[in-house]
Amino acid sequence: MSGPSLTRGESARRRGPALDVAVVGGGMVGAAAALALARAGFATALLEARAPSPWSVQGEVDLRVVGLAPSSVALLDELDVWPSIRDARASPYAHMHVWDAATGAAIHFDAAAEGRDLLGYIVENSLVQWQLWQALEHAGVRRLCPAQVDRFDVLEDRVQLELGSGEALSARLLVAADGAGSPLRTLAGIETQGRDYAQRGVVAHVTTERAHEGTAWQRFLVTGPLALLPLADGRSSIVWSLPEAEAQRVMALDDQAFLDELGVASDFRLGRVMGSTPRAAFPLKLQLAKSYQAERFVLLGDAAHAVHPLAGQGVNLGLRDVAELRDTLLAARDDGRDFAASHVLRGYARRRCSADTLDALGFDALARIYSWQSPPLVAARGLGVRLLDRLSPIKRRLAEHAAGL
């Protein structure tokens, strides 16, 4: 059998050591979930197929970076890992400037205008994951790596996991944080909905003629958005969303041709692009799980929602899932209830699914709006952006929402 079912007898007799929670997936969101739950007093195990490579300040900056919103920084601070991340190699930014290539209309966000010091930090994925991974050991999390879940059975009071190694493990709750292609989501019979953008995000770190000014820059082109994110070493990390064929063409360019085209695409906002690391590309899609929970089972992070990177909110949504799940389980346990009961998990699923779906569809709407090419629609878009930039209360609400405040 390859999916969950209610079984007793032999499966019940083969239970492994009992845990409160088993988290599958040791990326940023899964590791944060395991650490948060362990710190909250839940007996927790983390199962991961491949241990992260040790992070070193002498190493090259990871091509995969994330813009951490204040809500994410607050959670990582609660977990006692933020100071080590911040002091290692994190780039604060206090401004965000977004402009439309077709109309020149722009909107500018300034942390000081919102009464804050910063809008967020640009940090390497591998740095965050490594610091979380190190902290798991001190928090008493049982780390099983390499580990793969071949199947799981839902029993009356727990979930029984069978691993590829032949080992059995049981927990009162199974948390799937195993990515957008989540095998556990498939085993649980949870379907997804969404659309393929038929685009790829081309990423690299670039050196520019002018400093990035502690600003996240984003230009919307007909082909898709181009983001230049400030790195701690003075370079900028680019995420250039392009149609499949165009992405393949850009990936095949020689270095100088790539630098020249990137300079034009960025409107030379930071001057000429002087140098670049090797490039990589990843497919873009919108994917939302139709449910975030099943019996003694929940989804977190990309396993629940994959969104367009134009707003840089993917990991922030996942870390908000983590905080919501921890708080939900804690409240149930403190009330003397079964924290993995269906009605408890439905509360978590309802709140996070609603918030994540609203955000994901908002990002999708932005992508559609900026793909308009009809002159009247383009003109209306430009007018709308200019008006929004002048409406301080609405702009402030948008900034607060992005910050998770």
- The predicted-structure confidence for 181-229, as pLDDT tens digits, reads as follows 999 999 999 999 999 989 999 999 999 999 999 999 999 998 989 999 9
Please say whether the structural domain 91-121+197-284+374-403 has been given the CATH code 3.40.50.620. no
On the question of pLDDT at 2 being above 60, the answer is no
Domains 10-62+128-193+286-367 and 91-121+197-284+374-403 share a fold: no
Lowest mean pLDDT among 96-105, 226-235, 261-270: 96-105
The residue whose two tokens read 């493990």 is 169
Question: Who wins on pLDDT, 311 or 246?
Answer: 246
pLDDT > 60? residue 6: no
Residue 75 pLDDT: 97
Domain ranges of the chain: 10-62+128-193+286-367, 91-121+197-284+374-403
Q: Per mean pLDDT, which range of 3-12, 27-36, 62-71 is the poorest?
A: 3-12
CA angle 267, 270, 275 (to 5 degrees): 100
Q: Tell me, what's the pLDDT at 5?
A: 38
- pLDDT tens, 330-379? 999 999 999 999 999 999 999 999 888 888 777 777 777 777 777 787 77
The residue-averaged pLDDT of 51-55 equals 90
pLDDT at position 283 over 80: yes
Q: Is the pTM of this model over 0.85?
A: yes
CB-count exposure of residue 189 (10 Å: 0-12, 13-18, 19+)? exposed
pLDDT interval class at 11 (50, 70, 90): very low
Residue 29 pLDDT greater than 80, yes or no: yes
Instruction: Give me the pLDDT at residue 10, please.
Output: 41
Please give the mean pLDDT across all residues of the chain: 89
- Maximum CA pair distance of the chain? 70
Q: What is the rounded distance in angstroms from the CA atom of residue 37 to the CA atom of residue 329?
A: 9
Top-level CATH class of 10-62+128-193+286-367? Answer: alpha beta
pLDDT at position 262 is 97
Q: What is the pLDDT of residue 398?
A: 65
Residue 312 pLDDT grade (very low, low, confident, very high; cuts 50, 70, 90): low
Nearest C-alpha neighbor of 359 from the set 404, 391, 392, 325 = 404
Residue 250 near residue 240 (C-beta atoms within 8 A): yes
Percent of the chain scored above 70 by pLDDT? 91
264 burial level (CB within 10 Å; 0-12, 13-18, 19+)? exposed
Confidence grade of residue 392 (pLDDT, cut at 50, 70, 90):
low
Residues 67 and 229: beta-carbon distance below 8 Å: yes
pLDDT tens for 128-187 read: 999 999 999 899 999 999 999 999 999 989 999 999 988 899 999 999 999 999 999 999
Based on DSSP, count helices (H) and strands (E) in the chain, helices before strands. Answer: 12, 20
The neighbouring-strand residues paired with 6 are: 154
Give me the pLDDT at residue 152, please.
95
267 vs 75, 100, 153, 308, 385, CA distance in Å?
Answer: 36, 11, 55, 23, 19
Mean pLDDT over residues 29-55, rounded? 95
Q: Secondary structure of the chain: what % helix, strand, coil (to 5)?
A: 40, 30, 30
